Amino acid sequence: MSRTPERILAIDIGGTKVKILASGETEPRKIKSGGKLTPEEMIEGVRKLAKGWKYDAVSIGLPAQVGPSGPITEPGNLGPGWVGFDYAAAFDCPVRVVNDAAMQAIGSYDGGRMLFVGLGTGVGSALIAEHVLIGLELGDLHFGERSVSDALGREALDKEGKKVWRKAVFELVPALQKAFLADYVVLGGGNAEHLGKKLPPGVRLGNNLTAFRGGYRLWGIDDVPTLKANGKRRGAALNGWRLL
């Protein structure tokens, strides 16, 4: 196993906010993101935001599909330029990039078979079965005329109101839990706070710090690729990562 960095900066990038937390710190910091945010602007904002914090490595959770060399699709709710960007050179340290739902799932995992569903601008998802993480794209799953993201995303919440949105969440999530034979479901993302305290059996809310915990845990997984400057990388990205 490679040595885990002592000080890690975890970056959780969403459709409305970029949140960061470094090892040893207790209070996350955040800036706005939005549909025009580019990786250059993210780097500049994070560097200013992290002033005074020390870190040897960076974890990035990004709402996009991620391959061995970083993002392989552009985030739908952010600006352009994320594919092919040299994150390690920009931060001047090793970087690991994963889908944001995967990072939150790693931070939420308590053993067994867990389905993670992230409720934000869109819908992120991941499954961890007996310590093996498998990325999912449940947001694109259609039922009737709508996709899961159409029904559970931020636009539906704003347009239809909390009551209708909650009903859709509580109808869909137990069905997904049954389909994946999950022992439990964790609901995370910025909109999970609107669900209230009464949840379906086997469903719990994620903690605000789980994305950061996932960013720290990411460096304890050997087969997640590490990006280095000039496009170099170590390790091969797998769809199933074994959590130790």
Structure tokens at 19: 């949140």
Tell me the CB-side half-sphere exposure of residue 121, using CA atoms within 13 A: 17
For residue 2, pLDDT over 60 is answered with no
- The three-class DSSP label of residue 69 is coil
The per-residue pLDDT for 234 is 57
The per-residue pLDDT for 130 is 87
Spatial contact of 108 and 114, defined as CB atoms under 8 Å apart:
yes
Q: Which CATH number is 135's domain given?
A: 3.30.420.40
Angle of helix 210-217 versus helix 100-108 axis, rounded to 10: 90
Q: Is 226 left (phi over 0), alpha (psi -120 to 50) or beta?
A: beta
Instruction: State pLDDT tens for residues 112-170.
Output: 999 999 999 889 999 999 889 998 999 999 988 899 999 999 999 999 999 999 999 99
Q: What is the mean pLDDT of residues 199-203?
A: 95
95 and 108 housed in the same domain: no
Spatial contact of 155 and 147, defined as CB atoms under 8 Å apart:
no
User: Which range of residues forms the domain containing residue 169?
Assistant: 103-205
153 and 219 housed in the same domain: no
188 and 107 housed in the same domain: yes
81 within a domain of the structure (yes/no): yes
Instruction: State pLDDT tens for residues 24-34.
Output: 999 999 999 99
75 and 21 housed in the same domain: yes
Averaged confidence pLDDT in the chain: 91
For residue 237, pLDDT over 80 is answered with no
94 within a domain of the structure (yes/no): yes
18 within a domain of the structure (yes/no): yes
- pLDDT confidence tier of residue 187, bands split at 50, 70 and 90: very high
244 within a domain of the structure (yes/no): no
What distance lies between CA 143 and its chain's CA centroid? 24
243 within a domain of the structure (yes/no): no
Which of 63-77, 93-107, 192-206, 217-231 shows the lowest mean pLDDT across its residues? Answer: 217-231
Spatial contact of 192 and 216, defined as CB atoms under 8 Å apart:
no
Nearest 5°: CA angle at 149, between 170 and 160? 65
113 and 31 housed in the same domain: no
Strands (E) located in the chain? 8-13, 17-22, 29-32, 57-62, 66-67, 70-71, 95-99, 113-119, 123-129, 132-136, 142-143, 146-147, 184-188, 203-205, 226-227, 233-234, 240-242
Q: What is the mean pLDDT of residues 212-233?
A: 84
Name residue 227's beta-bridge partners.
95, 233
For residue 236, pLDDT over 70 is answered with no
